[in-house]
């Protein structure tokens, strides 16, 4: 059975999130939590929150045991981009892109494969 959780419009670029997620696919949940805990990037805390939310969904909604769960899929998609403008030299304008990301974590207990 697969269980998922997602966080939308997280205020960081998807590229930064993907760097943190790189080594988490296929890991048991406890190892993924440990890896996120000791990752020095600030976005690792948000990814850990989504992982904990997926585990809570599995336990409360489907009655699964957290020790049997593995990270089946984890990905970060592009969210809405906030566009801001900053004045530049000679009357021109510079565009500042403030990117957002959608973080999705899918957990599996290995029974459906």
Q: What is the CATH number of the domain that holds 29?
A: 3.90.470.10
- What mean pLDDT, rounded, does the chain reach? 95
Compute the average pLDDT of residues 68-96: 96
pLDDT at position 18 is: 96
70-78/2-10 β-pairing: unpaired
Query: Is 113 inside a domain boundary?
Result: no
* Domain carrying residue 36: 2-108
- What whole-number distance in Å separates Cα of residue 47 and Cα of residue 52? 9
Which residues is 41 bridged to in the sheet? none
Domains held by the chain: number: 1
Query: Is 61 inside a domain boundary?
Result: yes
DSSP one-letter code for 110: S
Is residue 36 scored above 60 in pLDDT? yes
**pTM of the full predicted structure?**
0.91
């Amino acid at each position: 059975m697969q269980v998922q959780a997602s966080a939308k419009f997280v205020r960081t670029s998807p590229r930064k999130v993907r760097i943190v997620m790189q080594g988490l696919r296929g890991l048991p949940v406890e190892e993924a939590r440990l890896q996120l805990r000791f990752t020095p990037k600030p976005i690792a805390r948000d990814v850990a929150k989504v992982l904990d939310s997926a585990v809570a969904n599995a336990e409360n909604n489907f009655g699964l045991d957290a020790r049997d769960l593995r990270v089946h899929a984890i990905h970060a998609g592009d969210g809405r981009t906030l566009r801001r403008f900053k004045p530049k030299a000679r009357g021109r304008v510079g565009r500042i892109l403030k990117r957002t990301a959608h973080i999705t974590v899918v957990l599996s207990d290995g029974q459906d494969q």
